[in-house]
Amino acid sequence: MKVLVVGNGGREHALAWKLGQSKKVEKVFVAPGNAGTARDAENVDVAATDIPGLVQFAKSQAIDLTVIGPEAPLVAGLADAMEQEGLKVFGPSRAAAELEGSKVFCKNLLHTANIPTASYQTFKTGGDAERYIKDRYPEPDEPVPVVVKADGLAAGKGVIVCDTRHDALEAIDRIASQREFGEAGNELIIEEKLTGPEASVLAITDGETIITLPAAQDHKPAHDGDTGPNTGGMGAYSPTPVVDEAMMARIEADVLVPVVHAMKRARRPFKGILYAGLMLTPAGPKVLEFNVRFGDPECQPLLMRLQSDLFDVLEAAADGRLSELEPLQWDERPGTCVVMASEGYPGSYDKGHEISGIDNADALEDVKVFHAGTTIADGQVLTNGGRVLGVTALGSTISQAKLNAYSGVKEIRWRGAWCRKDISDKALSTI
């Protein structure tokens, strides 16, 4: 079988690496890929959002399965374009991807289906949103615990957590007047600020059957102790003790199953990865957001732990045959992924620094370096993005997995490289 993975991040390197281990897969292409996928698969010089280019490539190579990594091509309708040409795809249609592409759509669906989420209001103009804040919180100094969100895709940045009236009005101004997130800010949501630990629960579904993956925890803030600006994710680990068996059963029954049914009822049957971003509040788990793809970096430790053939699973989902699949097999050992980033990220950063030590890190037992923002020039691996590498490791305990991942990190150098030092410590503090 020939497989095409679309995207160029750490998630796509992990997908390509795992798909390449399938006995059924003879070739994995990655479009456009990075220096890591160039080594573990074959890169194709077509952008992840070039829908006609990707369809043409898949047809010309008679690709048996296309796996779409990032949200942008899904929301733009890549899965639909592929299927129209009779090509098999793992990933939701454009209509189903609105679950991530529009937070207003997502919140309204959750509300209609009675799925627990923060209470919210939607607004078409900044003026209406401002009036709501001023009416609801008339005292200038009273606490205003709300979260202001841009409706559309904003690379994880269009969510502003507020404590004061000033924070909330400023957030509305940034989204609606300064248009910091462009068209994503055409509509706004203001929702209740929740508290509690966060967890990512991902499920594979063909629109009927749901296979839940072990829960993971991301680390979105840039700095240790969850401080600093939000990023795409500075590290992840799985499984997480904050989601025990009883909590997982509750999340499946109260969130995942009703969402799959609600999407079917809305005539947007969902096929692909359903990623619930959850807050485990004192009143139970509540949905913060849905993503329609693997999380990055959650994907890296999850796939390192997966022992089943990933091609079989994704193909069965694409074919609507998930109910026939054997239960997934997992390595019992926890996995941890530490993201190494460029100096300046998540703000502006340089590219083109020479990276050394990747092979030494990869040679360590139970360690795999997944590339994200890397490229190759004259045989040398160079930095090419903000999140550069995801050093991922298994270990007999979470502490051991962490130690193994940081042993890999220690081998790797480039000018300005940095990472959080506390990835997975949240697990230890909850035990």
**Binding at 118: pick from ligand AMP, ligand GLY, none (beta carbon under 5-8 Å per type):** ligand AMP
- Strand partners for 383: 374
Rank residues 36 and 295 by Cβ distance to ligand GLY and give the closer one: 295
DSSP code per residue over 321-365: -GGGSPPPPB-SS-EEEEEEE-TTTTS------B-B-HHHHHHST
**Binding at 291: pick from ligand AMP, ligand GLY, none (beta carbon under 5-8 Å per type):** ligand GLY
Tokens (6 digits) for 239: 């499984």
Rank residues 31 and 280 by Cβ distance to ligand AMP and give the closer one: 280
Tokens (6 digits) for 406: 């940081």
Interior/surface letters 372-399, b for 16+ CB within 10 angstroms, e for the rest: bbbbbeeeebbbbbbbbbbbbbbbeebe
Short-list 66, 7, 10, CA closest to 303: 10
Q: Does 284 bind ligand GLY (CB under 6 A)?
A: no
**Binding at 233: pick from ligand GLY, ligand AMP, none (beta carbon under 5-8 Å per type):** ligand GLY
Q: Does 233 bind ligand GLY (CB under 6 A)?
A: yes
**Binding at 296: pick from ligand AMP, ligand GLY, none (beta carbon under 5-8 Å per type):** ligand GLY
**Cβ at position 92, least distance to ligand AMP in Å:** 18
- Strand partners for 190: 121, 148
Q: Which residue has the tokens 């404590």?
A: 163
The distance from CA 142 to its chain's CA centroid, rounded to whole angstroms, is 35
Binder among 291, 374, 375, 404 for ligand GLY (CB under 6 A): 291
- Cβ contact 155:101 at 8 Å: no
**Cβ at position 154, least distance to ligand AMP in Å:** 9
**Binding at 374: pick from ligand GLY, ligand AMP, none (beta carbon under 5-8 Å per type):** none
Tokens (6 digits) for 143: 């606490």
Q: How many CA atoms lie within 13 A of 391 on its CB side?
A: 32
- Cβ contact 202:273 at 8 Å: yes
- Strand partners for 274: 203
- Cβ contact 26:87 at 8 Å: no
Return d(Cα 205, Cα 210) in angstroms, integer. 5
- Report the site for ligand GLY in 204-223 (rule: CB under 6 A): 218
**Binding at 288: pick from ligand GLY, ligand AMP, none (beta carbon under 5-8 Å per type):** ligand AMP
Which of 47-55, 74-82, 293-301, 367-375 is the region at the interface with ligand GLY (rule: CB under 6 A)? 293-301
Rank residues 220 and 387 by Cβ distance to ligand AMP and give the closer one: 220
Q: Does 198 bind ligand GLY (CB under 6 A)?
A: no
Rank residues 22 and 231 by Cβ distance to ligand GLY and give the closer one: 231
Return d(Cα 413, Cα 431) in angstroms, integer. 33
Q: How many CA atoms lie within 13 A of 52 on its CB side?
A: 0
Which of 75-83, 120-128, 288-296, 315-323 is the region at the interface with ligand GLY (rule: CB under 6 A)? 288-296
Tokens (6 digits) for 323: 């109910």
Site string for ligand GLY, 241-280 (x = CB under 6 A): ----------------------------------------
Residues that bind ligand AMP (CB under 6 A): 118, 147, 156, 159, 161, 191-194, 198, 220, 277, 288-289
**Binding at 159: pick from ligand GLY, ligand AMP, none (beta carbon under 5-8 Å per type):** ligand AMP
Which of 107-115, 177-185, 290-298, 310-318 is the region at the interface with ligand GLY (rule: CB under 6 A)? 290-298
Fill in the DSSP letter of residue 397: S
Return d(Cα 374, Cα 411) in angstroms, integer. 17
Tokens (6 digits) for 360: 């030494």
Rank residues 144 and 287 by Cβ distance to ligand GLY and give the closer one: 287
**Binding at 191: pick from ligand GLY, ligand AMP, none (beta carbon under 5-8 Å per type):** ligand AMP
Short-list 154, 3, 1, CA closest to 69: 3
Q: Which is it for strands 272-281 and 284-291: parallel, antiparallel or unpaired?
A: antiparallel
Q: Does 296 bind ligand GLY (CB under 6 A)?
A: yes
Binder among 295, 385, 390, 408 for ligand GLY (CB under 6 A): 295
Q: Does 156 bind ligand GLY (CB under 6 A)?
A: yes
**Binding at 289: pick from ligand AMP, ligand GLY, none (beta carbon under 5-8 Å per type):** ligand AMP
Short-list 379, 367, 364, CA closest to 333: 367
**Cβ at position 147, least distance to ligand AMP in Å:** 4
Short-list 84, 78, 117, CA closest to 97: 78
Binder among 64, 298, 315, 411 for ligand GLY (CB under 6 A): 298
Q: Residues interacting with ligand GLY, by CB under 6 A?
A: 156, 218, 233, 291, 295-296, 298
